[in-house]
Amino acid sequence: MPATVVVGTQWGDEGKGKFTDLLAKEMHLVVRYQGGHNAGHTIVVNGESFALQLVPSGILYDHIVPVIGNGVVVDPRVLLAELDMLARKGVDTSRLKVSGNAHLILPYHQELDKVAERRLGKNKIGTTKRGIGPAYADKASRVGLRVQDLLDPKIFREKLDVVLKEKNALLAKVYNQLPLDADAIADQYLGECAPRLEAMITDTVSLVHDALEADQHVLLEGAQATFLDLDHGTYPYVTSSNPVAGGACVGAGIGPRYIDRVMGVAKAYVTRVGAGPFPTELLDEVGDLIVDRGGEYGTNTGRRRRPGWFDAVMLRHAVRLNSLSEVGLTKLDVLDTLDTVKVCVAYELDGERFDHLPYHQSVLHKVRPIYEELPGWKTDLSAATEPGHLPREASDYLAFLEEQVGVPIRMVGVGPGREQYVHYAA
Ligand code: IMP
């Protein structure tokens, strides 16, 4: 059975959790393939809000095996806290599987993320300070510790002692910080976390392949988004993994021929947290209204997100980078009160028009958006459940986006609740 990928098409926070959750009904396995607890996937079920950072959204369905794939970086302390939170809310977490090949986030990763950002001053990336970048850097440098090391205390300790010597020298000599204690880390990771995680640590590649070979549906759940991708995003204002659909193959351990559906999730406008270029950014009262109505504050960090108009140039690029088969559009209702809505159809710089993303980032920093302005619908969409419930102006907006982006919009979110969406196209 082929696999489906759900990927963010902008700068994150598109509401991927909502559509992952909706698609999960048909799925057997939901696999997170990259990122760590820098993600914040919010799902509202029966009025109750679940903010998931590491655990795949499929956890909320009893029939699904949620999997943390090898491409994810795992802070076991955070994972256990999240499992405890879910258990308190009555969710059965015993089905969760964690790849032994996933890398661990250790306390020095988090420390280094914080102090490196501080040192960058006004050039800071605006990371979530969770240790994500330093953990992936250690993975690439081949000094990382993996989840499977939790099952072998001797190996864990040997690796930790070697790497901590270097990290402590860096913390003390470059960043003027106190050194970290290997015994304390080992006590926490081996003493407290390992016994609780042991039963979940699995060869997830075999698990995924067994499911595919048994004709089961597998959903590959991306975190962050296309323009935060380490290779394809607005470097260096990116995350340290590959959220694009291709990353799903690496981060779950499957070949590309298994994937036949790629849903790109986009907001009906755009937001970004952290620094970096943003051609359609709104620094006016319309931006404030979007932040306010959309509740655009980070799920994890509480930071105000930067708002902007929908950018079709970005989306066209996301279609290419991910081979999108469709778009899931979220938060259309946030625009309900506006007299007009704008869509960026191209960029302009010094008389040159760009219908596609300019290759050189210095150009992207300077371009001006070219907008089409469409009439607003001035109607509360929050109760709409089928296309016929949408006023003509809202349908026209969606049709215009489809025409600009070049792939169909399949689902449209009109509110935070699980049932608040319109099945737009079959
Ligand atoms: P990091 O992933 O913590 O290293 O942060 C790198 C960049 O990615 C920063 O601009 C963060 O704000 C952004 N980022 C990381 N995770 C998310 C997310 O889940 N949503 C939105 N932005 C994110």
Residue 360 a catalytic site member: no
Separation of CA 158 and ligand 1 centre (Å): 32
Separation of CA 269 and ligand 1 centre (Å): 18
Angle, nearest 10°, between helix axes 392-405 and 312-322?
50
Among residues 200, 223, 194, the alpha carbon closest in space to that of 77 is found at 194
Given this model, what pLDDT does residue 101 score? 98
Separation of CA 127 and ligand 1 centre (Å): 5
> Is residue 112 within 8 Å of residue 131, measured between CB atoms?
yes
Separation of CA 37 and ligand 1 centre (Å): 10
Farthest-apart Cα atoms in the chain, separation: 66
Given this model, what pLDDT does residue 167 score? 98
| 3 CB-near residues (< 8 Å, 6+ apart) | 212, 217, 218, 219, 220, 248, 254, 258, 259, 260, 261
Give pLDDT tens digits along the chain (426 positions). 799 999 999 999 999 988 888 898 889 999 999 999 998 887 777 778 888 899 998 898 899 999 999 999 999 999 999 999 999 999 999 999 999 999 999 999 999 999 999 999 999 999 999 999 999 999 999 999 999 999 999 999 999 999 999 999 999 999 999 999 999 999 999 999 999 999 999 999 999 999 999 999 999 999 999 999 999 999 999 999 999 999 999 999 999 999 999 999 999 999 999 899 999 999 999 999 999 999 999 877 789 999 999 999 999 999 999 999 999 999 999 999 999 999 999 999 999 999 999 999 999 999 999 999 999 999 999 999 999 999 999 999 999 999 999 999 999 999 988 889 999 876
Strands (E), 259-305: 259-267, 270-272
- Residues touching ligand 1 (Cβ under 6 Å) are 12-13, 38-40, 125-128, 130, 132-133, 223-224, 228, 237, 239-240, 273-274
| 179 CB-near residues (< 8 Å, 6+ apart) | 168, 171, 172
Given this model, what pLDDT does residue 46 score? 74
Given this model, what pLDDT does residue 22 score? 85
Given this model, what pLDDT does residue 280 score? 98
Closest ligand 1 atom to residue 223 Cα is: 19
The pTM of this model reads 0.96
Q: Is 100 helix (H, G, I), strand (E, B) or coil?
A: coil
Positive or negative: CA dihedral 53, 55, 61, 66? positive
Closest ligand 1 atom to residue 301 Cα is: 12
Which of 273, 278, 301 for mutating ligand 1's site (highest number of atoms within 8 Å of CB)?
Answer: 273
Given this model, what pLDDT does residue 49 score? 83
Residue 289 identity (one-letter amino acid):
L
Question: How many angstroms separate the CA atoms of 71 and 205, rounded?
Answer: 11
Residue 386 identity (one-letter amino acid):
E
Closest ligand 1 atom to residue 35 Cα is: 2
Question: How many angstroms separate the CA atoms of 130 and 82, rounded?
Answer: 15
> Is residue 393 within 8 Å of residue 376, measured between CB atoms?
yes
Among residues 234, 265, 420, the alpha carbon closest in space to that of 328 is found at 265
Question: How many angstroms separate the CA atoms of 38 and 319, rounded?
Answer: 24
The one catalytic residue in 21, 28, 37, 41 is 41
In this structure, the strands spanning 29-32 and 218-221 are: parallel
Given this model, what pLDDT does residue 57 score? 84
Given this model, what pLDDT does residue 426 score? 60
Residue 41 a catalytic site member: yes
What are 411's strand-pairing partners?
328, 423
Six token digits for residue 426: 């079959």
